[in-house]
Amino acid sequence: MATDAAAAAAAAAAAEEDHDIVAWFDSIAEDPGLVQTNTLRRIIETNYETEYLRRWLGSDLRMEDLEPEALESLYTSSVPLASHADLDGYIQRIADGDDSPILTKEPITMLSLSSGTTEGRQKYVPFTRFSAQSTLQIFRLAAAFRSRAFPIRDGGRILELIYSGKQSLSRGGLRTGTATTHFFASEEFKARQKTTGSFTCSPDEVISAGDYKQTTYCHLLLGLLHSEQVVFVTSTFAYSLVQAFAAFEELWADICRDIRDGALSRSRVTLPRVREAVAERLRAPDPGLAAAIGRRCEELRRRDWRGVIPALWPNAKYVYSIMTGSMQPYLKKLRHYAGGLALVCADYGSTESWIGANLGPRDPPERVAFTVVPTFSYMEFIPLSRTAKGDGGDGDFVEGAPLPLSRIKTGVQYEVVLTTFTGLYRYRLGDVVEVAGFYKGALPKLSFVCRRKLVLTINIDKNTEKDLQLAVERGSRLLGDKAGRAELVDFTSQATMPDHRRPGHYVVYWEVKGAVEDGVLGECCREMDEAFVDHGYVVSRRCGSIGPLELRLVGEGTFQKILDHYIGNGAAMSQFKTPRCTRDRAMLAILDACTVKAFTSTAYNSLNLI
């Protein structure tokens, strides 16, 4: 009875917290322009004494003499737009130990380190307690809306496939690591674990193990120990979920044996503190549960593991993860594993700041829009128009003047600019978004379009990651149409530069599961080549200044080797993204060593120009 009373009290407290945070959000949605103006004022009041703001706003600014709107106008007219390169010198001084007020009034003690898989190099971004607090707040907000769409029973557990990377020290003694690593080590996360710890399958020792393979094994094992109680399955990125369940196809027999014997595999898990923490939960043999799981796995194996998540966690309501942008190529495989379960897209943010929450959890990932949270940072939006590809234009973006949040319009694409509490001022994020509508008629809802950075370019051709993704989607459709059960596991690319022997050309690397005839792969290659409709690319292909696209088929497990390479060089599993275009010599060496076949496009050959 006492347990029932405690559960009821916890449920009532959670419902009250959900109501409170939704009420708070609805109140700031009434006049988001005013909220943004006041957010900027708080940022400037907090950090005005810094070297950076004094450089642009002067040393004699009297903020008390300025209305918030006047301060906003002064700020946007005086402080220039900035890229990371513009701030890099300031951040490096902080990393080297300069604790003077450079970007923030309070000393920065932590720096987030990007994985380097998107930009090709790692970069530092300031991380403060505000970063952790805003993370916890957006989690609570989104969870309140998810609980409305997918009511979850009291006492349920969460299978969280999350990974904390290693923290290290900069030359000046500051802790560095990924943003997720800092959050998992924060007091905010520890408080969350204490209040909801009974609902999370894995203890901190597993999350922070530092070996993603051992962590994955333990996550899956502990999740299966509580298979009837798991109410949803989650990870930071869709990639991590796909990786985990692809690994499960090989691990399930060992996991069943551990559950049957009540003892953890010594070959799979070697870290002492992890073994000790898991052993506390794996206290007694359970041959009945092991046999039931084994029977389901045998059946799942016969149907290529389709629907493995609902089959093994029958009370799970949904699968939750970041699924937009570079994660979209993994949706097909994730749906395969999820069966009929809803895929719910997690919130929109970056290492620099959170931007928007998914308040429509029933929307499919391809159509999700994120409602801006106007208290996390001050936002501006650079209007973008794009010249038509293939119609005399080069497909490049044309910029307008930056606009405040209150002046952006539905259907228009913008680049996001952030001013944060953590010391980034008018910082060009490089994300292209489109306004999909407004929450409560005033607060913008943003759809992520692409990263603005070009990933494939040789001379006048301009292709983004989105352009590459669309080309790969078009080419890989033939795998399902003509190759039966063959599927694309992962892909990346490079743009080779011209030399005295031949022009530069695009090389796309595919790892494919299943047998595919060479003729089909040749057609896939041609389809990809024709899918790049950028005017500069088409013209260059027709005149022969860019050579035929090349498709290189790599052996099974190649992208696992790439993952291991990046993890071994400091990337965290929680933030890993397969680079969609690379010049990294080590990665290219892996790809080239694993190439088993190569195909050259026959597109444009009829013109007899190449």
- Secondary structure of 382-435 as H, E, C letters: EEEEECCECCCECCCEEECCCEEHHHCCCCCEEEEEEEECCCCCCEEEEEEEEE
**Angle, helix 2-29 to helix 129-149, in steps of 10 degrees:** 110
Domain 1-152+163-201+317-452: state its class.
alpha beta
CA trace torsion 438, 440, 442, 446 (10° rounding): -30
Does residue 522 have a pLDDT over 90? yes
Which strands, in side-by-side order, build the sheet including 342-345?
A: 157-160, 230-237, 318-322, 342-345
* Choice among 5-14, 441-450, 563-572 with the minimum mean pLDDT: 5-14
Contacts of 363 (CB under 8 A, 6+ apart): 345, 369
Q: Which of 191, 176, 237, 175 is nearest to 212 (CA)?
A: 237
- DSSP 8-state code for residue 272: H
Q: What is the pLDDT of residues 416-467, one digit of tens each?
A: 999 999 999 999 998 999 999 999 888 999 999 888 877 788 878 888 888 9
Q: Which pLDDT belongs to residue 589?
A: 95
Q: What is the pLDDT of residues 272-301, one digit of tens each?
A: 999 999 998 888 899 999 999 999 999 999
Q: Which of 563, 55, 485, 553 is nearest to 305 (CA)?
A: 485
How many CB atoms are closer than 10 A to CB 509?
Answer: 26
Averaged pLDDT for residues 546-575: 88
Residues of the chain with CATH 3.40.50: 1-152+163-201+317-452
CB 451 within 8 A of CB 327: no
Q: What is the pLDDT of residues 162-196, one digit of tens each?
A: 888 777 888 888 888 777 777 777 777 776 665 54
**Angle, helix 518-531 to helix 465-482, in steps of 10 degrees:** 150
Q: Which of 506, 513, 479 is nearest to 492 (CA)?
A: 506
Does residue 610 have a pLDDT over 60? no
**Angle, helix 212-225 to helix 272-281, in steps of 10 degrees:** 10
pTM for the model stands at 0.84
H or E stretch covering 380: strand 377-386
Q: How far apart are the first and last CA of the chain?
A: 80
Q: Which pLDDT belongs to residue 389?
A: 47
H or E stretch covering 436: strand 427-439
- For 424-437, letters b (16+ CB in 10 Å) and e give bbbbbbbbbbbbbe
Does residue 502 have a pLDDT over 50? yes
